[in-house]
């Protein structure tokens, strides 16, 4: 094992701590902050380093984490509220309900309205491809 590989293994717990912090930040700020740069700046590290940590540990980028959170929240609101699609769109930070409809359908195969009427829930969709907005 090379010295570089040894250093990477030794710093793995620090990477996990950063990942836990970025997940918490995404949960808190995903409605307004979608840029990986925001999360990297908040954690005082470079965007490329944050993405490297995320890719190594989670096998996804910071952008993917944000998209996954948006998708999960949209589904949760569709399943557990009677809010209009327009209100849900605004609630998750999308100012164009038509765009939200197109992105949601591209991800799930259903418009938000048909998804709600179908009775499907989050368990039917793979989170690994959660690009919704």
pTM of the model: 0.78
Domains: count for the chain: 2
Q: Which of these three, 21, 49, 64, is where a domain ends?
A: 64
**Residue 92 domain boundaries:** 67-129
Taking CA atoms, 100 is separated from 8, 42, 50, 70, in Å, by 40, 27, 28, 11
Assess whether 74 and 109 both reside in one domain: yes
Question: What is the block-wise mean pLDDT of the chain (133 residues), using blocks of 10 residues?
Answer: 55 82 96 96 96 92 95 95 96 94 92 90 53 47
Q: Are 76 and 112 found together in one domain?
A: yes
pLDDT of residue 127: 47
């Amino acid at each position: 094992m090379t010295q570089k590989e040894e250093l990477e293994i030794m710093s793995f717990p620090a990477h996990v701590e950063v990942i836990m912090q970025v997940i918490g930040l995404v949960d808190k700020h995903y409605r307004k902050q979608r840029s990986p740069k925001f999360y990297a700046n908040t954690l005082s590290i470079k965007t490329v380093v944050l993405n490297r940590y995320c890719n190594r540990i989670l096998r996804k980028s910071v952008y993917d984490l944000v998209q996954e959170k948006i998708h999960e929240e949209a589904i949760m609101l569709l399943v557990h509220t009677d809010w209009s699609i327009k209100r849900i769109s605004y609630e998750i930070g999308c100012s164009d309900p038509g765009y939200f409809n197109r992105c949601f359908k591209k991800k799930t195969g259903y418009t938000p309205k048909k998804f709600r009427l179908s009775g499907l829930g989050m368990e039917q969709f793979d989170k690994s491809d959660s690009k919704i907005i």
